Structure 1
Amino acid sequence: MRTRTLPLLLCGALLASCGSDTPSVESADVPTTDSTTSPAIQAEWSGYYDGTLPSIGRPDIAMQLWVRNDSTFVLRQRYNDMDSMAFGTIGKWHVVNGLMTIDTGTDKSDFWKYTGNGIEEVDEMGEASKTSLNNRLEKHAGELHDEIPRMRLTGTFTYLADAMSFQPCGTSINWPCAGGEQWTDEGEKGGSLNTLELERHYARSVKQGGEPWTISVECSMAMGPAMEGDGVDEYLFIHRVVSDTVTCPK
């Protein structure tokens, strides 16, 4: 397991031998079942997790992780007493050898073991840290927390045929998006872009409509009206463009 920084059941089996005082022509070791052995925990990965993980030489990291049924995840991380805005990562998760694997855009993936009431960060072999540091996130039963609070996220914004979309770096997923002014809590409206302002900002920054615009944004995620037909879609709401001189890692 690696040191975390930002862009910031082992079940035993017992073997017993069968025999008697009288020698027999054939004897063999046969496995027996230990009725006291706890069964393996059935992993239920999807849900909302949070906790605080250690970071050597830096403040601890407050983490929130949304693991979705569609194999996507949203990770929100912030150094305690240091960052005013959390850093976000969006991507795909999958299970390999009983471990949940997520790619956070760094040189190595993160591996998590299911513990029943949460998950524990481990190495690729499923081994936890041998230190006394806490590397666990708690799962909150029945709390998926569909609304994702504000975070800093880098990706590619596109505006074409009156439709805005945002593709986070490292993914092939596009989210419909809009200015965040109309989707803020009371007291947060100051400084949030509206959709028209976002459109104008884009037009000033690209040579022609439809071109990708790679930016770092302050955004939140919540449900909004469907792009087509009735119903709702999940939107990425852009409150502020932090930088337009960024690139997505290769």
Structure 2
Amino acid sequence: MKLIVRHAPLFALFVACGDPPSDTGKVVAPDSPSVIVDTPKLAANWPGYYSDTLPCLDCPGLDTQLWIRSDSTFIRLQKRIGLDSIPEGIIGRWHVVNGLMTVGYTGDKPEFYRYTADGLLTVDEMGVADNSKQDWTIEKFADEIGDAIPRMRLIGTFTYWADSQSFQPCGAEFSWPCTGGMDLGEEEGEPIVRFNNADLQKAYKQAVKRSGDPWTVEAICTLGMGPAAEGDGADEYIFIEQLPRTIERCP
């Protein structure tokens, strides 16, 4: 928004002693030229939790959840409304380039977002928004939150070596400690999550030739806190609940 500032006309009245002044004694300053002042841009506070429904070509909408973390990591979940039961997840690093935030797989062309008062507006690499009437804004609901990330489909590489288990999502530069299953209690005497760590290790040994080999899979999993490998603290874990399929390689 532009603010137009005008200087009001200045009137100087010179009064001489004696007779009333004539018209020639009045000096009127002309209008000053308009001065255009740019309002400052909204300071970007990127970290936070964002959620909204984005336009979708083959479905009523794309249910989108996005966690932007202060450690430069992001988690994005997207589900096609009416088609997907579990959202597809990607995990990676976000960056700021020329005032725009980028997220996406490492090596692929990222998606670009501009920070607004409402949240994140999807734009192109030049910062230009789509000129259609569709709403491409992902609303911001909170600053950074540390809640567990809900169930998602996540493609990545699982590795098991010398009692150490890790999962590296495709496109991510790092890996998480990983375990099979998560103790969510029981329902009518049966565990809510039937898949456990023994099942995960068994499936891994059947899929690879030797321990330590990477195994690329699609996992249905959650992201939450678990016991630290060393000390009494806690680390963030990927908890695998199902392994629907083996993937030849990361996309």
TM above 0.5: yes
**Structure 2 match to 1:175:** 176
Using a 3 Å threshold, how does the CA distance of structure 1 residues 189 and 145 change in structure 2: closer, same or farther? farther
Q: Which residue does the alignment assign to 1:69?
A: 70
**Distance change in 2, residues 1:160/1:31 (3 Å):** farther
Q: Could you tell me how far apart the structure 2 residues matched to 1:15 and 1:92 are? A: 43
The TM-score normalised by the length of structure 2 is 0.81
Give CA-to-partner distance per residue, 1:73-112, whole Å, 9 cap, x none: 0000000011011100011110001000111479531000
Alignment of 1:92-241 (within 5 A): 92-104=93-105, 107-142=108-143, 144-182=145-183, 184=184, 189-190=191-192, 192-241=194-243
Q: Which residue of 2 aligns with 1:247?
A: 249
* 1:198-225 CA-partner distances (Å, limit 9, x unpaired): 1111111111111111111100000111
> What is the one-letter code of the residue matched to 1:58?
C
Consecutive unaligned residues of structure 1, counting only runs of 5 or more, are: 1-10, 17-29
Measured after TM superposition, the shift of residue 189 of structure 1 is 4.4
Whether the 8 Å CA contact 1:104–1:110 is kept in 2: the answer is no
Aligned residues: 226
SS in 2 for 1:83: coil
CA RMSD of aligned residues (A): 2.7
Paired-residue identity, %:
45
Query: Contact 2:181/2:193 (CA < 8 Å) preserved in 1?
Result: no
Gaps of 5+ in 2: 7-32
Please report how far the alpha carbon of residue 242 of structure 1 lies from its aligned counterpart in structure 2 after TM superposition. Answer: 1.1
SS at match of 2:198: helix
The 3-state SS of whatever aligns with 1:66 is strand
Whether the 8 Å contact between 1:48 and 1:145 is mirrored in structure 2 is no
Amino acid at match of 2:71: D
For residues 172 and 48 of structure 1, the distance between their equivalents in structure 2, rounded to whole angstroms, comes to: 22
Per-residue CA deviation, residues 101-155 of structure 1 (Å, 9 max, x unaligned), is 1114795310000002311100111011101101011111246252110000111
Using the size of structure 1 for normalisation, the TM-score is 0.82
| C-alpha deviation, 1:159, in angstroms | 0.7
Q: Which amino acid aligns with 2:171?
A: G
The aligned amino acid for 1:243 is: R
Question: In the aligned structure 2, how far is the partner of 1:31 from the partner of 1:200?
Answer: 76
